[in-house]
Every structure is written in structure tokens, then in C-alpha cells.
A and B are shown apart, each in its own frame.
Chain A
């Protein structure tokens, strides 16, 4: 690993593929020494960020997110945009390892020189994803990518986390046996800037149209997150490349309105703020777990809670007070 921040900074600004890739690795590293360099790199690069369209895409496994990005990304590069894709893959809670197969569904985009795709393991902790993805997004912006797409599978809180760091959040759905709404969480509807029903092709077109109606009805029951934008429902076929144009128009339209009303600026300010608080929380947490005293007492206290010998409330008090006495020194 390279120690000199300027290696990374210069490489990213030059849009050197190799260095950009290595800088992402640096950011993702769990080592404190790497994190120190990473902080440095990010703050140097921050002035070069903010110009890209930040797009988040979520959806159930198999909804066609990767296929959509393959078609959509190639369409955009065809128009001269440079596209970066960050795909988050779940890590196994058992082994810690992961299978990162996104590029098998983005075959053409993966070898497209105008595109950069980086799959990342979620690494077990969602908090981790939040920081890494946000910072990786900034790196890609600094490297000059025009559109940045974050793909995340809809598990746990990951969608809302990603929604909180992008300009436009798209929920990809598929039509199924009729009770589509079962598959969508209310929280996700609230943060969606558009719902796109994918796989509207072949003998599936009518079903997709039906699903579209259902989502439209469902969206009426949700208060939109923006006074200036009511999230549309669209259909598309990622495979047959139908409806991609409309999706792009919608995103551009959204950006136009959000910029004109000043909401985009507001949103990004909010995001910066929540990023700060996130880092504070993460810092506190790190500090907690790395505290020598905590490391010493943690196993006994957790064991006591597990066996029911100690109440969780009591245990938490004790742990925090360990920090407290540490602070007195």
C-alpha cells in the first residue's frame, strides 16, 4: 500500500484507472493507518466533487438492477457521458467472504472504456457501506465521471442509507403474481424518486402495466419527500432496452427542477451534515471498541448478559462508565 497521499490524489485527478481502483481500496480498508491517509485524500479531493449526477438503484434480488445498469450505462456512454458504477454485494455473515458477480451481468459495460465498475463487499456492517460508498462516490466525481450509479440490493436498511447519499433514487420492481406491493417496503416508497417496473417485455407487458397502476395508487398514499416532485411510475425492459430513454429524461428533469428550486443544494447540504454525524458516530464507535479497558471487560459483560445473569440496561451503564472513568484521566 502506498503511503503518500499525493500518489492517490494525483492519480484520481488524472483519472488513472489503476490509481482510482487503489484509492477505493484505501478507503475501504479497515486499518487505521490507511484511514488516516484516506481522510487526507478525501479532503484534498472534496473541492473537485459535486458535479456528477448521483443515481441510486435498488430492488429485490433478480429485479434486473445490473441488467438495467448494463443497458442504461452503455446508452449514456454512447452519448459521451462517463459512467461509474458502484455495486454493493452482501457478504456472508458466516464466513465473512462474498461473491461479487455483478460484472457477469454488465458484460459490455465492464469492457467499456468510458465506464468504471467497482463491486464492493458490504463487509458485514452496513455502517461501513455507508461511509465507503459515499466516499467512493466522491472519488469517482473527482476523477471526472459524469454519472455515478450505486447498485444496492434491498436488504435491511441499505436502501435508505443509499437514498440518503444520492440525488435520484430509483426503485426497480418486477411484476409478479399480483400482490406486488407485498414486496415493497413502505420506507422505500417514501424515499423513491421514481419506481420503474422492469421486465416489461414478451408476455409480461400486460402484467407490468398492471403493476404500474398498483404502484401509482400506492404512491398516492405516501407523502412525497419533495414538494416539487411527485415520483412517477414507469415500465421498462432492461433486457430489450425499452424505456431507458424515458428514465434518463426523468432523471434530467428531476435534476433541473431540483436545481432550479434550490432543493438540490439543500439536499446536498443535508447530506453533508448527515455524513458528518455519521462519521462522528462511527468515530465514537471505533473509539469505544478500541478502548483497552472496554476490550478487557467486554467479553465478561456480554457473557453475563447472554446467560441472563446481568440485565442489558445495567450492562450498558457499566460499559459506558468504563469510558467515563477513562475520560477522567
Chain B
């Protein structure tokens, strides 16, 4: 098709409106590196192989179902879990009564990492960021009164997937539901754990075997069950742009397919049960296009495995709106952001959706904030009439162009990964993680110097802010309750039987018995999550992540913005240089993550940018105890420790760190904290000796400035 006959006239008009400048100067380069022009026409999408298909038909660009939401709207599936099984169960039931359709369980971090609640390493984590599950008894309470033969249940579990899935199956069986009746999804996507989510337990090779074991078990016994949810959401939330999210997610998917085939399975027995999970951010059109592009690419990528069943190359996905885009500042804005993202996800054709609550950057959702979040979806479904048409944006020049661009750019990365030898090898090489972290550091720099606008944070910021809503706080008593229950179970179970089941697990791990099968038996014999995990750890070992850190990305993105921004960096470097001249060394900070909190985006951004500003930055391994962090601070003799806490462990962990430092005579090493810390906890931390607190949305230049204030006051007399 030729260019529109009036196009030249349009260019003239546009140039006139631009006071003589070409409309080309309006072209915006997106973070994905896609040039976005101010006008698209039919000529822009001419001849594209991504255009022109129909919904429900290969390559599924326009959606996996023929009628899409006109036939049945997406499933409203809210991710939730906190405190004890009993509390979470009550919360689920209230939500289901209010219009939620599917369940999605969030476990606490101790459970994720395969520790029982009585393990001293996880004292600050029990029930805080999800529901605590130690045994089948907890699992039964969690689903009490919920019909598991009817309700589709999604569980976000990856590390401790064998004990948890085993307990769920066993709990269902004990309540009279057969395995073949079970319906739902287990995340079981271990590769992205190494990349971004950080709740791995074992090294990659045995973990991949676990994934295959689960696929094999389910393809035999649970035909309605989705055995994996290949997740891009976490990759995006760690900092990836939409092209990176697409490429890394599909690359993970391809790796799982290869693993399953290598373990002897036929492609059509498991591929139709693969499901995906994407994150949807504030780049409205981009992420609509991303979902379309992902479906096209998955179909194309799957052809190499010669599937016979069309469903084997059909991408079905859950989506979640971006939590990262939500702010602690002016928090009701978050309702608007979430609405836009929900629109984007549904215009892109998601099969189910989670919408975040406005208190996202403060705490887990309360009943009230969860209601608003849920209603966001119900209103779109019931009031806007957007569900009447399948792929309503299909054929839009711009959307089709973006779709094609994402396909092309993601394919380049997919090819690069193939070159390295597949995603496992790529992850080993550190390439994907570094790309994500670089993208995160650049993003932070653009926000800090104002070129990416976030209303209420770097534009139209309120002068006096006070949170005026209730905050959900999980009491420490949950831990005591859990420990009590573990004691009771251990004292009433048939110990010999439990031990035999645990030995069977170790044996299966050594050989090639199906791990899920033996775990179901162990769950019934009242073995705990920790015991089952340990039984495998004996053979597999525990994985330790290698931490790499980008350097120079923050300062270069910041400096390139404009001359004024460049001065900010230069001035700061003079300040650290001055500190060196006056005191004999650079300001040295240890940044640490304590407890099982695996959110490392913030700490990586802080480490990388502080180094760019002239700090010497020590990074601790993940999952430290306060004692270990104190030892490291002392040995490295840092001036100050910065603890990053996002999973609600701050009130336990930060004061303990300060105590440990003091006890070893290193009281002069100051402690500051950052992350998701509700403002109402600030005074508690200050009273316990914390010198400064940097909440979400704090520009690096501000937190680094404050740290320098503290150090200059202490060391430059």
C-alpha cells in the first residue's frame, strides 16, 4: 500500500504547527529503544506478518479465544495471603463473596525459602509478606470451606514447590477431592527466581528437574492443572522494559519446553498446560502491544518442536498491574494508575488479572483497599462495555506497529540467548540480570532528575503528607502461633512413618523417582515444609546467588539529560572527594538485606548509584541475619550500614543490627534504613537508634546527601 495521498500535506501542516520544525523532532525513543513517531498510517504496517490474523486462530496475536471477552470476560484473580492460614482463609472467603472469581495464594517468605516458622533464620519473616504454611494442617485451614473441585486455585510457589504442592494435593484428597478434579496453576517458574524473584532454594540443575517432575506428575494425574506459570511480571518489576520482559519470559518458556522434552515427555502432553504471567506498566499502548507480540512470538518459537495440537503453541496469560509504578506519596493516585494498567492488560487480551491496591507501597492490602482494587476490574467488566469486542485495537496502525517492533526486538534478544546456549546458560553468564539491573538504574536516574514524571513524587509533590488510611500490620504473635502448631503436629504424628517418608524423598532426590509423588505421601504423614525441603537439600545443596552490580549507568543517564543534571553528579563527587581528603578515605557504606526479603531492585540501584557518586559500597550476600551483617560491617570497617527492608521485617531486624554492632564495640557505625517502611513505624526505628529512613520514592541524590550529612557531622570536625 502506498503512503496516504494526503500525507505530504499533513507533513506541511504539522511543520507549520511546529513553527517550522519537522514533526520528526517529536519522535520519542521509548526505554525499549523503539522510535515512537507522532503519527502512524497504513504505510507503517504494510506487509507485516504480525498483522491480519483472527482471534482464536494461530498465531493468536489477537487473542487465544475466538470471541475473547464477548464470550466470557477475564477472570478476576486477586493475589493475597498474610498472617496465619485462618486469617487468610477468612480474607479469601470475604473476597469471593464480593465478586472475586479465582483464588491466588501468596505465601510468606519463610515458606517460600523452605524454612519452618521455628527456624531462627526467619524470625522476622513469619506471616509478614504472605501466609505462613508449615504443614498439611495449615493447608487444610487455608482452604477450609472452599470447594477445591470447583475453585481454580493459583499458588505462587517456586522454591518450596514440592512440599507446598504436595500438601495442597494431600489436603484436597483428605477433604475428598480427587487429584484429577484439581484445577488451578502453580507458578513453578524457577528460572526467573534466579533472575529476579530470589526465592530459590536449590541450584539450577536439580531445580529444573523438580519442574519436570511436576509436569510429569500432573500430565498423568491432574489433567486440568497448569503446571507452570512462566513469569515476566517479576522481571518487569525488577526493572526490565517491555522488550526485555517479553524476551526473557519466552526464553524461560523455551528452556522449560526443552527440559520437559529431554525428560522424555511429548510436546503435546504438557505444552497446552503451560501458562504465562505478564506485568503491565504505565506505558499504556506499549503493554497492549506487548501481550499481542508475546502471543505471536510464542507461537512462532514453538514451531521448532513440531507440536500437533494447536493449543501447544497458544499463549494464555495471567497479568498483574505494576506495583512498582505505585507510590507512597499521594497514594490515591495509585487507583488511577491501576485503572489505566488494567485497561491496558484487558485491551491486550489477558485471561486473568490482578489489580494492585492503593496502599501497595506501604503494606499488604486491607479489606478496604482490596475492595477498591477488585472493583476496578468489576467496573471495567460491567460498566464500560469494553468487553463486547475481541481485540478492539487490532488494526490500529500504532498498535500494530508497536506489536511488530516488540516482536523484532525481542527476537534479537532471543537469538542472542540461543547463541549463548539457552536461558540456563544465559542466566549463568549473568547477562539477563545485568540488563535488567542496568535498565532499573537508568530508570531511577530518569526519575531522580525529572525526565520520567511520577505525579506526587517528582512533580506536584504535596508539601505535607500524612497517610490517612488504615495499615495492615501482621503481629509477631503469628510466629508464636505457628511454632506452637508445629510442636503439636510433631508430637502427635506417627514419627516412624514421617521419617520413612522423608527418607523416601531423599532417595528420590538421589535417584530419579518423582519428587512430587513422594512429597504427597510425606505431607499426609505430617512432615513439615522445612523437613521436606531439607530432605532434598541433603542431596541438592542450597544455592547461593552471585551478585554482580552494574556501574556507571545511573550517572551516565543522569548526566546525559542536561547540563544542570551533570552538575549535580559532579558536585556530589566533589563532596565525596572532599571527604576523602579530610578523613583519609572515601565514605564507605555497607548495603545489606536481612531476613528472607528478596527484593533486591532497590539495593542494587542504591549500590550502583552510590558508587557512581563516589562512595565505596560493600554489598552483603542476600538473606543475612543481623549478626552476620554486623560482622561484615565490622570487618570491612564501614562508616555506615544501610539496611534495605521491603518485606516488613524492619521492626525486628534493624534494631537487632544496631544492638549487635553496639555489643561488639562498633556503636560508631551508624545504621540507616530504606524500603517499604510505613511512616507510622519511623519513630519506633528512630527511638531504637536508626539514623535515617528513606522510603519509596526517595531520590538517590537525597538519600546519598543525607548519608553524607551524617558522615560529615561525625567525621569532619
Contacts and interface: CB of A to CB of B under 8 A. Distances in A.
A101 B616 contact: no
Contacts of B620: 103-104
B610 A25 contact: no
B93 interface: no
B462 interface: no
Interface in B588-616: 607-608, 610-616
A97 B616 CA distance: 5
Most buried by A among B548, B577, B635: B635
B585 A96 contact: no
A111 interface: yes
B552 A121 contact: no
Interface string A71-100: 000000000000000000001101111111
Interface in A1-32: 1, 17-18, 21-22, 24-25, 28-31
Contacts of B618: 100-101, 103, 119
A94 B559 CA distance: 13
A296 B564 CA distance: 31
A118 B664 CA distance: 18
B628 interface: yes
Contacts of B636: 21, 100, 118-119
Contacts of A104: 545-547, 619-622
B635 A98 contact: no
Contacts of B613: 95, 97
Contact of A101 (B544, B547, B612): B547
A117 interface: yes
A107 B628 CA distance: 10
A104 B548 CA distance: 9
B652 interface: no
Interface in A106-138: 107, 110-111, 116-119, 121
Interface residues of B, number: 44
A132 to B, nearest CB: 11
B380 interface: no
A34 interface: yes
Contact of A31 (B584, B607, B634): B584
A114 to B, nearest CB: 13
Nearest to B661: A18
Interface residues of A, number: 35
B34 interface: no
A181 B60 CA distance: 50
Contacts of A92: 551-552, 611-612
B544 A107 contact: yes
Contacts of A18: 634, 664-666
Contacts of B585: 25, 28-30
Nearest to B619: A101
B555 interface: yes
Given A92-B552, A92-B611, A104-B545, A98 B617 contact: yes
B549 interface: yes
B403 interface: no
Given A95-B613, A97-B617, A104-B545, A25 B586 contact: no
A209 interface: no
Nearest to B429: A62
A97 B572 CA distance: 12
B617 A95 contact: no
Given A100-B618, A104-B619, A21 B637 contact: yes
A207 interface: no
B617 A30 contact: no
A87 to B, nearest CB: 10
A92 B551 CA distance: 8
Given A28-B585, A119-B618, A17 B610 contact: no
Contacts of B615: 97
Given A17-B634, A101-B619, A110-B628, A96 B614 contact: yes
Contacts of B549: 99, 101
Contacts of A105: 544, 546-547
A99 B621 contact: no
B616 A121 contact: yes
B195 to A, nearest CB: 16
B239 to A, nearest CB: 17
A107 B326 CA distance: 34
Nearest to B546: A105
B539 to A, nearest CB: 14
Nearest to B666: A18
A17 B633 CA distance: 11
Given A92-B552, A104-B619, A104-B620, A97 B631 contact: no
Nearest to B665: A18
Contacts of A94: 552, 555, 612
Given A18-B664, A92-B552, A99 B608 contact: yes
B632 interface: yes
Interface string B199-225: 000000000000000000000000000
A29 B664 CA distance: 23
Given A97-B613, A99-B619, A101-B619, A31 B583 contact: yes
B26 interface: no
A107 B637 contact: no
Contacts of A111: 628, 631
A92 B613 CA distance: 10
B573 interface: yes
A117 B635 contact: yes
B467 interface: no
Given A92-B551, A99-B619, A110-B628, A30 B608 contact: no
Contact of A98 (B545, B616, B634): B616
B576 interface: yes
Contacts of B580: 30, 96
A97 B619 contact: no
A107 B629 CA distance: 11
Contacts of B573: 95-96
Interface string B322-341: 00000000000000000000
A31 B580 CA distance: 9
A313 B511 CA distance: 73
Contacts of A97: 576, 586, 610-617
A232 B203 CA distance: 32
B233 to A, nearest CB: 25
Most buried by A among B583, B586, B665: B586
Nearest 9 pairs of A and B residues by beta carbon: A29-B584, A31-B584, A104-B547, A97-B611, A21-B637, A97-B614, A101-B619, A107-B621, A100-B618
15 contacts: A24-B637, A25-B585, A30-B581, A95-B611, A95-B614, A97-B616, A100-B618, A101-B547, A104-B621, A110-B621, A110-B632, A111-B631, A118-B636, A118-B637, A121-B616
Interface of B: 430, 544-549, 551-552, 555, 573, 576-577, 580-581, 583-586, 607-608, 610-622, 628, 631-632, 634-637, 664-666
Given A17-B664, A97-B615, 9 more contacts: A21-B635, A29-B584, A95-B555, A95-B611, A96-B573, A96-B614, A97-B610, A99-B551, A101-B548
